[in-house]
């Protein structure tokens, strides 16, 4: 089996020459792991697989873990998450310039509100909507590399605090221009059917545990403040860094097709979803690759 790659816009690659329904050889597994480490986002088009094959393929990259948000796990497959547009409790309707959208999420990193974020994840399109429903990925390694030396020196050694939440107006670094929550939007994790988590702190400049690459560890959601820095000064710095990390040259927006499988390195990348129109169907199956490395820590007073 010979793998070929084609660069995606800005970041990541499309991988061809592989059928995910067939167990890959050890040599192909090594190639895939190397591509994942190098490019952070891999796209496989035209695949015809089911949950069992997705789970088996995901194990090429490490042990799997059930997502701690139990409310979105599959009943049949504990390792599988079912991301449904119809789940309006956990993906409520919101309005963007008065247009109703369900399931839109800003830029974030999975489990960054715990000390051990997952290594990565694999998404498979099951049911696609007629419009929207795209998924974006942002390479925070490239974002760090593009910072000027003065900013790199300024942020080295700083720590940021992440706080779990579900109510977007409470998140200080999400741009709320044109945004308003829908009626009955849950304000607390419990109201959305989720458990809560204590605050955690992370290095602002995070080192990738495998490659050693420096990562600009900021995103719109869950980011709360810079630890030990005047709040106004810290917030100004974080707004600047969040805007930088979202620049087009560090991101890729995936337009889903039937048979698509997409994976990303959650240690290096943040991601987002554009959401769908209320009533439009969308189902994505997701498997999560265990991190197993504590990159942050629970705050002592949390």
The pLDDT of residue 70 is: 61
Domain residue ranges of the chain, discontinuous segments joined by +: 4-298
Q: Is the pTM of this model over 0.85?
A: yes
Report pLDDT digits (tens) over 205-264.
999 999 999 999 999 999 999 999 999 999 999 999 999 999 999 999 999 999 999 999
The pLDDT of residue 238 is: 98
What fold is seen in the domain 4-298?
Answer: Double-stranded beta-helix (3.60.130)
Number of residues written out for the chain = 302
């Amino acid at each position: 089996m010979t793998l070929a790659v084609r660069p995606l816009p800005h970041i990541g690659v499309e991988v061809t020459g592989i059928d995910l329904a067939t167990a890959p050889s050890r040599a192909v597994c090594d190639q895939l792991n190397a591509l994942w480490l190098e490019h952070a986002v891999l796209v496989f088009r035209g695949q015809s697989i089911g949950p069992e094959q997705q789970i088996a393929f995901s194990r090429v990259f490490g042990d799997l873990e059930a997502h701690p948000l139990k409310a979105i796990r599959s009943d049949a497959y504990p390792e599988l998450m079912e991301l449904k547009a119809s789940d309006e409790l956990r993906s409520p309707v919101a309005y963007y310039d008065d247009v109703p959208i369900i399931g839109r999420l800003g830029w974030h990193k999975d489990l960054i509100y715990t000390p051990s974020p997952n290594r990565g994840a694999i998404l498979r399109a099951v049911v696609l909507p007629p419009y929207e429903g795209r998924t974006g990925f942002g390479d925070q390694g490239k974002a760090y590399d593009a910072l000027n030396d003065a900013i790199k020196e300024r942020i080295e050694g700083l720590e940021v605090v992440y706080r779990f939440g579900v109510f977007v107006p409470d998140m200080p670094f999400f741009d709320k221009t044109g945004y308003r929550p829908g009626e009955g939007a849950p304000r607390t994790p419990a109201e959305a059917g989720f458990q809560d988590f204590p605050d955690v702190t992370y290095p602002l400049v995070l080192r990738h545990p495998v490659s050693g690459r420096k990562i600009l560890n900021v995103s719109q959601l869950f980011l709360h403040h810079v630890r030990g820095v005047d709040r106004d000064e810290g917030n100004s710095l974080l707004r600047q860094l969040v805007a930088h990390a979202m620049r087009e040259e560090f991101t890729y927006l995936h337009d889903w097709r039937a048979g698509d499988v997409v994976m990303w390195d959650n240690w290096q990348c943040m991601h987002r979803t554009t959401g769908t129109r209320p009533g439009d169907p969308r189902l994505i199956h997701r498997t999560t690759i265990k991190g197993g490395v504590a990159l942050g820590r629970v705050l002592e007073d949390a």
